[in-house]
Structure 1
Amino acid sequence: MGLGREEEVEIRRQPVFLPGTKVRATRYVKNDGTFAGREIGEMLVHKGDVGYVRDIGVFLQRYYIYAVEFVERGTVVGMRARELNLEAEALK
């Protein structure tokens, strides 16, 4: 009998996005207190913002975290793949 819901271990497969990939945020992202220099609750990324994957890290040895630079906002935010889509212009 399990104690919690089993989730897929993302790092068993290749990352969805590679550095340099142009992506679009699918969700709003607020500062949860981990983004220095900004107020807790302040909006960091708006749904639809376009950015570029700068780096890929791992969290809890389970999940990929994509460091996405949102140039127009002047922020680099760590995001999960489910919070991003490939930017349509990059598909052309």
Structure 2
Amino acid sequence: MTRRDSDEVEIDAPPLYDFGDKVASRFTIRNDGTFAGKDIGEVLVCKGDVGYVTGIGTFLQQFYIYSVEFIAHGYRVGMKARELIPLDGQPSGDGSGAGL
């Protein structure tokens, strides 16, 4: 059985972010085991870190996963829209318009 965050199928709509969009992380993100070269639980991104969308994929045929290049860290991290805040006037990924 696969656990999902919600019943919403995000990919029924266009992605909230596009290539090159400037975004910030809403949360501190730790390695869940999918980031090679870092230990599980190691911090990958801190709340407020700024990056740019470099790719858009999907996960579980439900969510968009945005590949975000965090320049200060020198690597890319896959993130859901709800984990991001737009910095160039796009709508908020969580639908609330709330900031950091």
TM-score surpassing 0.5?
yes
Shift in alpha-carbon separation, 1:5–1:62, aligned structure 2, 3 A? closer
The runs of 5 or more residues in structure 2 that have no matched partner are 90-100
- Based on CA coordinates, which of the two structures has the bigger radius of gyration? 1
Q: CA deviation at 1:59?
A: 0.6
Conservation of the 8 A alpha-carbon contact between 1:30 and 1:42? yes
User: In the alignment, which residue of structure 2 is the partner of 1:60?
Assistant: 60
- Equivalenced residues, count: 86
Deviations 1:39-92 (A, max 9, x none): 1111000000000000000111111000000010112000000000101xx24x
DSSP 3-state at the match of 1:34: coil
Pair 1:8 & 2:8 matched: yes
* Structure with greater helix percent: 1
Structure 2 equivalent of residue 43 of structure 1 = 43
Q: Unaligned regions of 5+ residues in structure 1, if any?
A: none
Q: Please, what TM-score do these two structures have when normalized by structure 1?
A: 0.87
- The percentage of aligned residue pairs carrying the same residue is 53
What SS does the aligned partner of 1:35 have? coil
Within 2, Cα distance between the matches of 1:44 and 1:6?
Answer: 24
TM score, norm. by length of structure 2:
0.81
